[in-house]
């Protein structure tokens, strides 16, 4: 009876190790990316962020401000500063 208990406990201890063997859940595909694929993805993301930041800057710098626009901006800033001091 003691021998049976030892064999049963060994079988229960080894069972999880057998369950982990086999194909990955991805259908046999490798889960990780190669070094080249990671670098290509980094480059693509860097290009995308660079393009997006350029698009934001262009409308602001497309033309200089007129004298009236500068005066209005100056008055708005002065008004905002006065309101902050109150």
How far, in Å, CA of 3 to CA of 66, rounded?
A: 96
Element (H, E) at 66: none
- Rounded to two decimals, the pTM is 0.30
The pLDDT assigned to 24 comes to 57
Contact 33, 41 (CB under 8 A): yes
Residues near 30 by beta carbon (within 8 Å), at least 6 away in sequence:
24
What residues in the chain have per-residue pLDDT under 70? 14-31, 54-62, 86
Contact 24, 31 (CB under 8 A): yes
The pLDDT assigned to 77 comes to 94
The pLDDT assigned to 76 comes to 95
How far, in Å, CA of 17 to CA of 27, rounded?
A: 20
């Amino acid at each position: 009876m003691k021998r049976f208990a030892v064999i049963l406990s060994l079988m229960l201890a080894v069972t999880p190790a057998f369950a982990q063997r086999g194909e990955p859940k991805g259908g046999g595909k490798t889960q990780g990316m190669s070094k080249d694929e990671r670098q290509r993805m980094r480059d693509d993301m860097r290009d995308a962020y660079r393009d997006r930041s350029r698009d934001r800057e262009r409308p602001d710098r497309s033309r200089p401000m007129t004298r009236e626009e500068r005066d209005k901006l100056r008055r708005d800033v002065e008004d905002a500063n006065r309101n902050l001091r109150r």
